[in-house]
Structure 1
């Protein structure tokens, strides 16, 4: 995450957050890398793949049972990419190059089932969408924002408030 020091990473912890409902209506959780800022308030150090509404750099207040509220957005957009097949090193290099130019970070688990991208909102939505569409289009991959829209599909507009 841009702006995080090695010392801050060394002080990390994990919180278990509700990611939604899975099969049979059971709650699904994701463990998210954080650093405690004050009791109950955490700085998100790693953008989650399943928990919507968060990106690295956000400060969250964790509630009982894994619910949370964003106290302050950190200025990063989250993208989740689901490729049709695991990307090879060359494909992944092209994606990383595209997002390096925007100040972003591309991450994926060892099984390469999905890709999580964290990119500063300051890069601009046009540039972000051009980069992701340029990579996903030829590969038939699906992508979506993780922290730009609410559950009804309305823009959250947190990035506008940060420009004030």
Structure 2
């Protein structure tokens, strides 16, 4: 069985123009080929279940899609764990997972694309709209805002 490891991927540019990285839990398939086990919060373009080829410096390419959509919620106020119950229930019904790190600065949701975009958006909007929270897709659009269409 391949070992679990962490890979450091480029997540973007910081306010000072420096590269920002996120460490992502993976399983090594080959020396530079990894199965993403944990959906990253800030590395755009991937979700749990994807296979990626990691390049020197933290760049990567998606070799195979695992079929999961990534959503990122940046709440205005950090939610208490009990505030997440309705969100978790909604995404449990869709086969998804809702994750809140200990610092409660953001929420990462992984949900199968097979659940359908209408159902996903209804579930996330029902929780975020009353709170005034912002959410976005992490692996649905390219940097120019064009749909990636990997789910077709």
Fold shared, TM-score > 0.5 on shorter chain: yes
Corresponding position of 2:66: 74
Corresponding position of 1:92: 84
Corresponding position of 2:97: 105
Q: Which runs of 5+ in 1 are unaligned?
A: 1-6
1:65 and 2:26 aligned: no
Q: In structure 1, how many angstroms separate the alpha carbons of the residues matched to 2:84 and 2:151?
A: 28
User: 1:61, CA displacement in angstroms?
Assistant: 0.1
Q: In structure 1, how many angstroms separate the alpha carbons of the residues matched to 2:12 and 2:80?
A: 30
Give TM-score scaled by structure 2 length: 0.98
Alignment partner of 2:4 out of 3, 7, 12: 12
Q: In structure 2, how many angstroms separate the alpha carbons of the residues matched to 1:23 and 1:62?
A: 25
Q: Which runs of 5+ in 2 are unaligned?
A: none
User: 1:13, CA displacement in angstroms?
Assistant: 0.3
1:137 and 2:129 aligned: yes
1:23 and 2:35 aligned: no
Give TM-score scaled by structure 1 length: 0.91
Q: In structure 2, how many angstroms separate the alpha carbons of the residues matched to 1:157 and 1:36?
A: 26
Does the residue aligned with 1:94 lie in a helix, a strand or coil? helix
Corresponding position of 1:159: 151
Corresponding position of 1:83: 75
The more displaced of 80-89 and 133-142 is 80-89
Corresponding position of 2:110: 118
User: 1:156, CA displacement in angstroms?
Assistant: 0.1
Structure with the larger helix share = 1
1:37 and 2:29 aligned: yes
1:128 and 2:123 aligned: no
Corresponding position of 2:43: 51
Q: In structure 1, how many angstroms separate the alpha carbons of the residues matched to 2:81 and 2:34?
A: 34
Superposition CA RMSD, Å = 1.0
Deviation by residue 1:129-158 (Cα, 9 ceiling, x = unmatched) = 000000000000000000000000000000
User: 1:90, CA displacement in angstroms?
Assistant: 2.6
Q: In structure 2, how many angstroms separate the alpha carbons of the residues matched to 1:90 and 1:53?
A: 30
Runs of 4+ aligned structure 1 residues displaced above 2 Å come to none
Q: In structure 1, how many angstroms separate the alpha carbons of the residues matched to 2:56 and 2:31?
A: 13
